[in-house]
């Protein structure tokens, strides 16, 4: 499996894990806002990474990976809030945060590599 396919699958699976983890939680106004935002940002990571692998030029690829990095950072923020508000059990939040941290590292590194090519 190549790098692009591996991370297309990994970012999609991360989005699915976020959705499955938060969907069963009971409704409240505050949780509703957080749930909507983190689902939006995590699915944006997956969708925009998919667009990276379909980019028509290095500049377009760089622009898309910048969005991916921004959205995964936002997802990391929402996970921190969820943890501090204790909406999920510690084991589940740790799993999500660990995968998010790994994705942040990889995507940031990839962005830096592309910046060396396109700028």
What are the b/e assignments for 6-37, b being 16+ CB within 10 Å? ebbebbbebbebbeebbeeeeeeeeeeebbee
**pLDDT at 12 (0 to 100):** 98
Instruction: Give tens-digit pLDDT for 6-30.
Output: 999 999 999 999 999 999 999 999 9
Q: pTM of this prediction?
A: 0.93
Whether residue 93 contacts residue 80, with contact meaning beta carbons closer than 8 Å, is answered with no
Could you give the domains of the chain? Answer: 3-118 (1.20.1440.60)
Residues of the chain below pLDDT 70: 1, 118-119
Q: Which of the 8 DSSP states describes residue 56?
A: S
What is the average pLDDT score of the chain? Answer: 95
């Amino acid at each position: 499996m190549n790098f692009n396919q591996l991370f297309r699958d990994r970012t999609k699976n991360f989005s699915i894990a976020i959705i499955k983890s938060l969907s069963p939680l009971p409704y409240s106004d505050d949780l509703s806002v957080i749930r909507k935002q983190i689902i939006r940002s995590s699915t944006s990571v997956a969708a925009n990474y998919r667009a990276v692998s379909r980019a028509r030029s290095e500049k377009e690829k760089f622009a898309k990976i910048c969005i991916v990095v921004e959205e995964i950072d936002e997802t990391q923020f929402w996970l921190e809030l969820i943890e501090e508000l204790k909406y999920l059990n510690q084991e589940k939040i740790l799993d999500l945060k660990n995968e998010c941290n790994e994705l942040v590292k990889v995507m940031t590194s990839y962005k830096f590599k592309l910046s060396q090519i396109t700028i």
